[in-house]
Structure 1
């Protein structure tokens, strides 16, 4: 029996593909250190791609959200190493996934956005103006015996003039079964109207510690690692689309191989500041865009955000696509890309016409090895991203979002322009089709095709 178990483990290890060395293997076990947290669905959320586009641009182009004068140090705790499994909830049309955490003693519950594109933790508080924070869970420091105020002002400002203000404090943060003592976080005291419409009570940043906006503090993930609270210096993300019931999970300290369909490709980070990796090409159907860049894998952004030139090259391959001006746009943004709502059919039709115009071309080399641009017709409803010498695809239908009210038969696109040329964004439109491993210890990201729920 023991020999069979060892052989099985070795066979599993051989299935893992790593372009940067041997991966850390962790086969998630079902023990008392793993916990699920029930989540809720908000059925009233309505997608607004122009706003989501603007939010992605603001986030990508404004790296210095916070100002802070304090530098904090955390005391190590002698805790048993664990893994924390947090189920998450899909809000709206695959726009936002949320999970619950607890802060304080006794614990106060908050529904947060888990965001790999930022590195700080903040929640709404009882000091927030009532009109702006109605309908949200508010942290009350008077009800926590472990609360410690740092008396440091805090501010997060956006390029369009909206902002969140507050102050810093420390308390116990509970993520699943993990308790992080003396975690620095911000208590929001004032919000602009955008927050009032959001379903979350704040944000937990899962970005790299080198990118903290609250200078001199450690991220929740940094503290999990430094205090020895998780088995491995990584976490994994599994998002489930709304059409499959919504939800998913974050797993801190490991990854769940039962949710992975095939090999894992690990790609080294291209940045010391964020979860960014090299992208070596994009295909629309069988058409190569021939572009390279770096992409931030960002769970806190719903759309895919490219540079203006790269986005234009992508949409040149989609018949009928065009730019429309953003509603209420106060930024220097060209507009939002829109596509015919039957875009998938148009791409397939375009491919058939190419085959019909040159029927002898395929017969000249019937035994030649296929390249990405020579996929079979049934595979043409895909957009392919090349990372780590491997293809990762999303269905073309997934970039066709809600209808444009002013233009009949047109829909907003899930790929937009507005990112700087150095780092683009792959948001949840990409992430929900794959299993992602964010390995802080080895400075890399693992990507695999996920199993359907």
Structure 2
């Protein structure tokens, strides 16, 4: 999900799990670009940890989420590990409007919880599903605090967090409690773990429901999850919390146009379920797939085509980037991703994978679930390998 700053605090850009815990895969760990000092080497005590992820599936893969614990004694909650945001927020017993079935945190039961006393609200630019956000229909009201947070057995103390005290009804379908931001600048529990000696990177294995065994690896890479080499591309500049890469062009079924062959910045967001481009790019892509893919006025920003036509349409989308070696490489969305399911207002019409939004452009799960991805905070780069 893409998070937009609304009131007071909160930084970031927002809109995520079943693994066999008995497996002991061989792993590789990538080091930071900045060589550690001897004192830092002595401090390095933490090893990478794997967190199994569940897939929220509602006709298509929507979000992957996993367990963390908060407080003393620990209370288990579930969160989307969201590369499109940078803060931790989750539902609490203070929230009367939080009617989803996910666990809620009770601050009165934690001896280490400290109330920060600040309230704020945030509005999300992409939501839980595949439909564009309309106005403020994805909004949370929050109260600040700090507490102990444990992820994958790794513990951080005095972690800044936000308790959800009110939410719009759109969140009530969520099977998870909240969101743990994993932006390009380490923050919260992840920054604390890095300070304790954990390598400053994580790997994501966001598999389709039919594949399963999705996983987050904190502080390293699970090399048993992919084949072939990792290809890395550098973020365009330090300082941003967004995982952004510059694309040099897009092609569809091997063809491109002047609109598609231009440079564009794309945000990589594990919390966004599909793809988002500006209107010109979206319509240029659809024009190369089928002239019958049209906007659906019932849901502004969406497009669709008759469901009985989907399986016959080739729709391979290649997005080109430049590797750190200087060579171009493609990340590919296969034709099987074209449909994200029937529209509620017309089940004979299927929504297609790209929404048109002119404020930002996002690479979401439609692409990420076809690659193992490495999010290297220390080296400010993103890596991809075939799975």
Q: Which residue of 2 aligns with 1:67?
A: 8
Shift of 1:65: 3.6
Q: Which residue of 1 aligns with 2:151?
A: 175
Q: 1:270 aligns with which of 198, 218, 236?
A: 236
Q: Which runs of 4+ in 1 moved over 6 A?
A: none
Q: Which residue of 2 aligns with 1:195?
A: 171
Q: Which stretches in structure 1 are left out of the alignment for 5+ residues?
A: 1-55, 70-75, 211-217, 328-332, 348-380
Check the 8 A contact 1:318/1:343 in 2, yes or no: no
Q: Which residue of 2 aligns with 1:338?
A: 304
Q: Which residue of 2 aligns with 1:225?
A: 194
Matched, 1:164 2:140: yes
Q: Which residue of 1 aligns with 2:354?
A: 415
Matches within 5 A, 1:139-154: 139-154=105-120
Q: 1:84 to 1:120 in 2, by over 3 A?
A: same
Shift of 1:91: 1.0
Deviations 1:76-121 (A, max 9, x none): 9x67212121010111121111111000111101111110000000
Check the 8 A contact 2:272/2:364 in 1, yes or no: yes
Secondary structure of residue in 2 paired with 1:243: coil
Deviations 1:276-319 (A, max 9, x none): 01111212112123232111110000011011111111011011
Matched, 1:386 2:320: yes
Q: Which residue of 2 aligns with 1:85?
A: 50
Larger fraction in strand: 2
Q: 1:144 to 1:173 in 2, by over 3 A?
A: same
Q: Which stretches in structure 2 are left out of the alignment for 5+ residues?
A: 11-39, 125-133, 323-327
What CA distance in whole angstroms lies between the structure 2 residues aligned with 1:98 and 1:296?
A: 20
Deviations 1:396-424 (A, max 9, x none): 1212121235557531011121042xx51
Q: Which residue of 1 aligns with 2:102?
A: 136
Check the 8 A contact 1:282/1:385 in 2, yes or no: yes
Check the 8 A contact 1:123/1:188 in 2, yes or no: yes
Secondary structure of residue in 1 paired with 2:5: coil
Deviations 1:106-157 (A, max 9, x none): 110111111000000011111111x433523111122112111122223223
What CA distance in whole angstroms lies between the structure 2 residues aligned with 1:227 and 1:285?
A: 47
What CA distance in whole angstroms lies between the structure 1 residues aligned with 2:70 and 2:363?
A: 30
Check the 8 A contact 1:90/1:247 in 2, yes or no: no
Secondary structure of residue in 1 paired with 2:289: coil
Shift of 1:226: 2.1
Larger of the two Rg values belongs to structure = 1
Q: 1:346 to 1:175 in 2, by over 3 A?
A: closer
Q: 2:294 aligns with which of 319, 322, 343?
A: 322
Q: Which residue of 2 aligns with 1:447?
A: 384
What CA distance in whole angstroms lies between the structure 2 residues aligned with 1:200 and 1:150?
A: 24
Matched, 1:260 2:232: no
What CA distance in whole angstroms lies between the structure 1 residues aligned with 2:379 and 2:183?
A: 15
Deviations 1:327-370 (A, max 9, x none): 4xxxxx5x3111343345243xxxxxxxxxxxxxxxxxxxxxxx
* TM-score normalized by the length of structure 1: 0.69
What CA distance in whole angstroms lies between the structure 1 residues aligned with 2:365 and 2:79?
A: 16
Larger fraction in helix: 1
Superposition RMSD in Å: 2.2
What CA distance in whole angstroms lies between the structure 2 residues aligned with 1:224 and 1:383?
A: 38
Q: 1:236 to 1:65 in 2, by over 3 A?
A: farther
